[in-house]
Structure 1
Amino acid sequence: MIGAILLTVAIIVFLVIFDWNWFRGPLGRFASAQLDREVVITGDLRVHPWSFSPKAEALGVRIAQPDWAAKADPKGSPPGTPMAKVDRIAVQIKLLPLLKGDVILPLLAIDRPDVRLLREPLGKANWTFGDPNAAKKPMKLPAIQHFVINDGQLRYQDQQRDIFFLGTVSSNEHATGDGRGKFVLEGKGQLNRAPFTAMVTGGPLLNISPNRPYPFDARVDAGSTHITAKGDITKPFNLGLFETQLSISGTDLNRLYALTGLALPNTPPYKISGHLSRKNERFDFKKLNGRIGDSDVSGDLFVLMGKERPYLEADLQSRRLDFDDLGSLVGAAPATGRGETASAGQKVEAGQRDATKRLLPDATLQVERVKAMDAKVKYRALAVNAPNLPLQKVRLDLTLEKGVLTLDPIAFTFSRGDLAGKVRLDANPKVPRTDLDMRLTNAKLEDFITIKTDGKPAIEGGVMARAKLTGYGNSVHRAASTANGQVTLVSPKGEIRQAFAELLGVNASKGLIMLLSKDTKETSVRCAVADFRVKDGIMTSNQIVADTGVVLAKGKGTIDLRNERMDLRIDGDSKKPRLVRLFVPITIRGPFLEPKIGLDTGAAVAQGGVAVALGTLLSPLAAILPFVTGGEAKDADCAGIVAEARSDGAPVKVAQTTPAKPKK
């Protein structure tokens, strides 16, 4: 009995006078083996064991960078620069809850930490310890009843995502007006050279329990992006389990990449809210609701993390889509007129577009981002605001897997007819490849050519088309500039105001008089075909034919997708004898956004000159005779023309070319 008492006293005396610094070396070597890099304690190691909540302090803790870090970031991590250095770490633990398997820390204090986090381009990160190929798990911290960070410094560089943050981090509890404490965690600095602030607040930590949810509020401001959250950590502080009501707003969803790692599309300014929950590697964002540009959006989505690439799946819809908002997906600036929603940067882009008269967007595809995630998205627009198009609905199904983005289908429903097909973009080659196959079916010309006289369409009838193209480039404009393939448009039958038909042959004695007299007489369009082969971004006509009841018009020319210019010529030939028939072809030339319609005067000069031709209206009959046509033009072989176009891929049947019955 006396021996046991003496042994106990001896142990107590030993522990009281023992120099705990003796453990600095063994403890550092143990930590080094666990973290696979050198860990040293350069200051004192202090232990206070005489309590049911023993406390330990370590001064001057340094954690070295892994060997590869200095090569990956020589400026930020030169040789000898540690991954982390801390002036003081103090931790206290309750012993009795350990008997039930609960870890509760009455205190965790970190003084003046200086941490440098780095991820290199291939994804290797200096905060990953152990097997780098092991599945990544969310951070799990024990319940902490008093958490203090004093004067923290953080440098974060992600070379894979092209993200850089430099700032400060601190936390503490502050007394509130009612005498209760409030936990505050703050971070501020610059994220990619834009101001960044983050604040998380919650109730006092003193009574925290791992079995009781901990409520929190959070706000993040990163440049033009603003995030607010109000929710609960289900099991403090297991950050893999929480629920929160989330609101996000900003100038462009694409800018969330730095915060989330998700390659979201370019958009106009947005504001979205919903219920966000996390269960380990899965994030669910349900009852999503808000606006993107001038379009509403709602639906559900979820994200799976922890794999080689994040995976996003979404089911979204708009009750009413503002069509120009959709253009942002391919890099086009949204409309910036009165009542339109656009950011300051997008207004500048729109101004540049207007100044250069360019139609095809030249915004560069962020290839590495496309390859950094997988996705499956379904989107439906139930109504569409498109002032210049008879567009009613939009439907698209998107898949993104291993750097290959596919839209199948991408479909636009008009008041009459559909434009639908498939687009595939492969971002894996050095120069991305785009394949497009789109078909227009069952549409009506009068819905797109809205010229009317006395309330009646100037032209009407069915129209069908197909575009099958392959292009290379990291923007819409570059892909179009290298495109190869076929574009075909067919109008099998219809009707046109005769005055316009006469003008296809520049019949001054008939067409102009009919227009001036407001004559609304119509004539049939037996068929119209425009067929182009596309090579290296140049569309060259194989055949352009419009066969009406009074004029057979044939054309030729090119459309340059690279420079966005067209150069087309249409020669009309009357089917009936005309007293005055000017053989002056019509030309359509100039940029896509401002084409000029004119006359090829050189062609008329060969028959007496334009001035003489115009003078024939007042000249003797002998001067007019050279311009009289005998009406030798015959009906075009519409069935043959359409069959040829059909062989090139136009979605039209030969049986559809039956001539329209003339109106009585």
Structure 2
Amino acid sequence: MVAAPEPSRHPSSPWMRLVVACAVLLAVLMLVVLFFPWDVMRVPLNRYVSEKTGRQFEISRQLAVRPGWRGATIIFDGVDFANPPWAREPYLVRAKRAEFEIRLWPLLSGHVVIPRLALISPTISLQMEEDGRRTWALGKDTGDTSTVPTIGLLQVDGGGVDFLAEHLGVDIHADFTYDTARGELPLDFRIKGKYKRQPLTAEGRTGNVLQLTSEGQPPFPLEIKAAAGKTQLSAKGTVAALADLDGIDAQFQLKGQTLGDLFPLLGIALPHTSPYALSGDLRKRAKLWEVKGLQGRLGLSDIGGDMRFDQAPKTPQLGGKLRSKVLDMDDLGPLIGLPPTERSAKAIEGVEPPPSIAQVKRRRGDAGRKVLPTATLDFERLRAMNADVQYTADKIRNVRDVPLDRGSVHVKLLDSVLTLDPLDLGVANGKVAGAIRIDARQVPADIRASLDVRGMQINRLIPKVETLKTSFGKLDGRINLSGRGTSVASWLGAASGDVAAITGRGEFSNLLLEFAGLDGGEIIKFILRGDQTVTLRCAAVAFDVNKGVAQGRGLVFDTTDTVFRATGQANLATETMRFVIDQRPKDKSILSLRTPLIIGGSFGSPTIGVEPGPLAARGLAALALGAITPLLSLAATFEPGPGADADCKAVLAEASKPGTAEAAKGAAQATGARQPQN
């Protein structure tokens, strides 16, 4: 008899039953979740959120939930969520409908992650305070950043948004309209209010979804035209994250009265300029802003290059290289604190012209006003960032009385110390080179200037002299000044150092000399016999500068016909002067006027003791003022000119070095502007 086989026992059968039981339980739970009447939870949910946040929350009509594997989609049909009591507006959000996805696992650790939020006809009022409080913090402590939800995509169908941050000078309102007929950019927005305490208006279009964070989503398109104060912006491109303006790729056009206005708006400490119009490609990744292919105009001058602004370091860093094919002299005034000329002020179409220098003069109605720039250094800007920018001007036009040909400068700003080193200018077929250093770590700032003049042609320095028969020599010179101040005027009014300029042999028209020397006999000879040339043997102007007082130590102009010697001083603080010029003709002249000439008055309105005519006034004033004008304020260390006679060598030697201890000390400090500073 054959035994019956035993029933088979599969070793995994209990586990299979457990799995089946779990699957059945999960299916039941899914059915419960799917068919659960979630709206019965609306009143308890309203009460729970209100208690947790300390402010009124209400789903006014219906609550619905669509569960998913990673999270759930929650729909509020009608929602009101109040702001904290300290806020200006009563409600944070009021909307006809709100739909959002929420991640479940982050909730276990107390974090609210919302990948997508869609609002129908919302009114949103956001407010942030200087102490860190913000209305969208969901806990009772509105200053706790851990209670701020993370929102990915924001979809808005109509409605409006208010944002207030009084400590930042921001108070704006935006209105949205949605229309699918607008194609890829269906969401239209209009913004009005104040940004950085300046009037702001803006309008533009974007896609139907605004991306607040960049994780896992493609950039969204954006077009905008905005005006803040006197600054106008238009841009078109894409943005990856709206919350921190990250992942920007756009083309932009920027216009305004001065680049200096960008400091309160963007925190970039650019100098004041003439009105401008710029365009280029803008790119931002994390904290790094880059502009490629920058081109446009600053007043009457063109400009181009590449720039970058890195906000990641503790002190933001600006860098780049800029170049002008043609620089117009009218555009340099605002850089040293002067208003632009009328030509420069009106150079950019579509920008309201700022007050020109002529208008400012008329408003002041003061013919004897200060000549030296009095605009105060902006210490906040000098401390706001670091910079390393190189600028080159291939050609300089409209130079008027200062024949600049070209220029370049390397601007460095490190830990509140600004240096222009090297500074290289082509002037009158010669060269001015050196360095300027402004230490803004202290107030008043420690300012030092040390520059050289090499081989400038004198006939190009004197207005209209080129119309005469001339063959002037070349000018060499120096300026070494140091002192403390808060403006160009206050610095020069307290500076000490040495200023000198010399030239050797040359020839020029006797018409210029005799008018300047008031030699009536030579004028008659010129009329009867025509223009003759006069040989210049040597010339020198040298000043010892002691706390703003420039005392002449060697002011000599020696020709084969006449020797001019001057004594006196110029006060750079009061902008007044007094020089006595003694002319001694070397030939006999029956009409030579030997009375010394006195040049005095103010820099803005000089006077001359004898009225020899317009040409004499210009010539003698230029001789006396040559070492204190902005041109010779760019002079520096020199080598003696080629004077061949013994007395000329003595004249040039007199100008070779400072004559007083205070001037020597100031000059020595100024030369430190060229040396690396720790």
TM-score (norm 2): 0.74
Q: In the TM superposition, what are the counterparts of 1:584-663 in structure 2 within 5 Å?
A: 584-599=595-610, 637-648=647-658
Amino acid paired to 1:402: D
Q: Give the aligned partner of residue 199 of structure 2.
A: 195
Q: 1:240 aligns with which of 246, 251, 257?
A: 246
CA contact (8 A) 1:504 1:553 kept: no
Out of 351, 355, 361, the position equivalent to 2:359 is 351
Matched, 1:426 2:439: yes
SS of match in other structure, 1:347: coil
Instruction: Give 1:313's aligned residue.
Output: 319
Distance 1:7 1:551 in 2: 114
1:115 pairs with 106, 116, 126, which one?
126
The residue identity in structure 1 corresponding to 2:301 is: S
Which residue of structure 2 aligns with residue 168 of structure 1? 173
The residue aligned with 1:67 is: none
Please list the CA deviations of residues 367-413 of structure 1 after superposition, one character each: whole Å capped at 9, or x if unmatched.
21221111111111111112333321110110112222111122211
The letter of the residue matching 1:356 is D
Q: Which amino acid aligns with 1:481?
A: G
**1:278-299 per-position Cα deviation (integer Å, ceiling 9, x unaligned):** 1111111000111110011111
Contact 2:187–2:207, Cα closer than 8 Å, also in 1: yes
Structure 1 residue 340 displacement after superposition:
5.8
Shift of the 270–118 alpha-carbon distance from structure 1 to 2, 3 Å rule, reads: farther
After alignment, is 287-296 or 432-441 more displaced? Answer: 432-441
Cα distance, 1:477–1:252 mapped onto 2, change above 3 Å = same
Query: Which of 456, 461, 464 is the matching residue for 1:443?
Result: 456
The equivalent residue for 1:20 is 45
Secondary structure of 2:186's partner? strand
**Are residue 219 (structure 1) and residue 225 (structure 2) matched?**
yes
Contact 2:345 2:353 in 1 (8 A): no
Counterpart of 2:261 in structure 1 is: 255
**Any residues of structure 2 matched to 1:23-62 within 5 Å, and which?**
23-24=48-49, 28=53, 40-44=54-58, 48-52=64-68, 53-55=72-74, 59-62=80-83
- Alpha-carbon distance between aligned partners in 2 of 1:590 and 1:128, rounded to the nearest angstrom: 67
Give the whole-Å Cα distance in 2 for the aligned partners of 1:366 and 1:166. 26
Give the distance between the partners of 1:339 and 1:7, measured in 2 at CA. 75
Alignment partner, residue 409 of structure 1 = 422
Aligned partners of 1:125, 1:380: CA distance in 2, in Å? 48
1:230 maps to 2:226: no
Alignment of structure 1 residues 337-416 onto 2, 5 Å:
337=343, 341=347, 346-353=354-361, 355-357=365-367, 358-385=370-397, 386-416=399-429
**Is the Cα contact below 8 Å between 1:211 and 1:236 reproduced in 2?**
no
Cα gap change, 1:339/1:388 in structure 2, threshold over 3 Å: closer, same or farther?
A: farther
Aligned equivalents of 1:4, 1:260: Cα separation in 2: 55
Are residues 109 and 517 of structure 1, via their aligned partners in 2, closer, same or farther at CA, if it must alter by over 3 Å? Answer: farther
Q: Deviations over 1:268-317 (max 9, x none)?
A: 11111100011111111000111110011111111111332321112110
Could you tell me which residue of structure 2 aligns to residue 157 of structure 1?
166
Q: Could you tell me whether the CA contact under 8 Å between 1:505 and 1:571 is conserved in 2?
A: no
8 Å contact kept, 2:522–2:589: no
1:388 partner SS: coil
Q: Which residue of structure 2 aligns with residue 549 of structure 1?
A: 560
Q: What letter corresponds to residue 484 of structure 2 in structure 1?
A: Y
**CA shift for structure 1 position 319:** 0.7
Distance 1:119 1:511, change over 3 A: farther
Aligned 8 A contact 2:127 2:135 in 1: no
Amino acid at match of 1:270: Y
Looking at structure 2, the residues matched to 505 and 556 of structure 1 have their Cα atoms a distance apart, in angstroms, of 16
Please state whether the residue corresponding to 2:429 is helix, strand or coil: coil
| SS of structure 1 residue aligned to 2:447 | strand
The residue that corresponds to 1:133 in the other structure is none
Displacement of 1:325 in angstroms is 0.4
Q: CA offsets, 1:472-491, max 9 Å, x none? A: 33322222222222211111
Q: Secondary structure at the match of 1:377?
A: strand
How far is the alpha carbon of 1:524 from its aligned partner?
A: 2.4
Match of 2:499 in 1: 487
Query: Following superposition of structure 1 onto structure 2, how do residues 64-75 of structure 1 map, counting pairs within 5 Å?
Result: none
- Is the CA contact 2:494–2:548 (under 8 Å) kept in the aligned structure 1? yes
| Aligned amino acid, residue 395 of structure 1 | S
Identity of aligned residues (%): 24
- Structure 1 residues 293 and 543: alpha-carbon distance in aligned structure 2, compared to 1, 3 A threshold: same
Residue 270 of structure 1 aligns with which residue?
A: 276
Equivalent residue for 1:623? Answer: none
**CA offset at residue 578 of structure 1?**
4.7
- What residue number does 1:537 align with? 548
CA 240–637 in structure 1, closer or farther in 2 if over 3 Å, else same: same
Whether the 8 Å contact between 2:115 and 2:152 is mirrored in structure 1 is yes
- Long gaps (5+) in structure 2: 1-20, 107-112, 138-148, 613-644, 664-678
CA contact (8 A) 2:278 2:297 kept: yes
Q: Which amino acid aligns with 1:647?
A: K
Return closer, same or farther for 1:140/1:3 CA change in 2, 3 Å cut-off. Answer: closer
Mean Cα displacement is larger for which, 522-531 or 6-15? 6-15
- Higher RCO (CA < 8 A, seq sep 6+): 2
Is the Cα–Cα contact under 8 Å of residues 213 and 236 in structure 1 kept in the other structure?
A: no
Q: Is 1:330 the equivalent of 2:355? A: no
Alignment check: 8 A CA contact 1:84 1:115 kept: no
CA contact 1:118–1:125 (8 Å) conserved in 2:
yes
The reply on whether 1:92 has 2:100 as its aligned counterpart is: yes
Distance 2:356 2:344 in 1: 15
Structure 2 distance, partners of 1:306, 1:453, is 55
Pair 1:261–1:455, CA change in 2 (3 A): same
Is 496-505 or 391-400 further displaced after alignment? 496-505
Residue identity in the other structure for 1:42:
Q
Per-residue deviation, residues 74-115 of structure 1 (Å, max 9, x unmatched): xxxxxx4589961448451177999xxx97415256944433
Q: Which residue of 2 aligns with 1:654?
A: none
Kindly state the Cα deviation for residue 518 of structure 1 after the two structures are TM-superposed.
Answer: 6.0
Structure 2 residue matching 1:369: 3-state secondary structure: helix
How far apart, in 2, do the equivalents of 1:151 and 1:453 lie?
68
Is there any run of 5+ residues in structure 1 with no aligned partner, and where?
A: 29-39, 65-79, 130-138, 602-634, 651-664
2:126–2:135: 8 Å Cα contact kept in structure 1? no
Against the structure 1 CA distance between its residues 489 and 147, is the aligned structure 2 distance closer, same or farther, given a 3 Å change threshold? same
Would the alpha carbon gap of residues 504 and 636 (structure 1) be closer, same or farther in structure 2, given more than 3 Å must change? farther
Q: Does 1:526 align with 2:537?
A: yes
Q: Is the 8 A contact 1:140 1:238 kept in 2?
A: no
Instruction: Measure the CA separation in 1 of the matches of 2:422 and 2:26.
Output: 83
Give yes or no for contact 2:158–2:178 (8 Å, CA) kept in 1: no
Counterpart contact for 1:532–1:539, Cα < 8 Å: yes
RMSD: 3.9
Distance 1:378 1:245, change over 3 A: same
What SS does the aligned partner of 1:599 have?
coil
* Alpha-carbon offset, residue 502 of structure 1: 5.2
Q: Report the residue type matching 1:568 in the other structure.
A: F
Q: Could you say if the C-alpha distance between residues 486 and 177 of structure 1 is closer, same or farther in structure 2, counting changes exceeding 3 Å?
A: closer
From the superposition, tell whether residues 125 and 348 of structure 1 become closer, same or farther in structure 2 (CA, over 3 Å): farther
User: Cα distance, 1:257 vs. partner?
Assistant: 2.0
Pairwise CA distance, 1:152 = 2.9
Which amino acid is the alignment partner of residue 351 of structure 1?
Q
1:197 deviation in Å?
1.1
Distance 2:90 2:508 in 1: 78
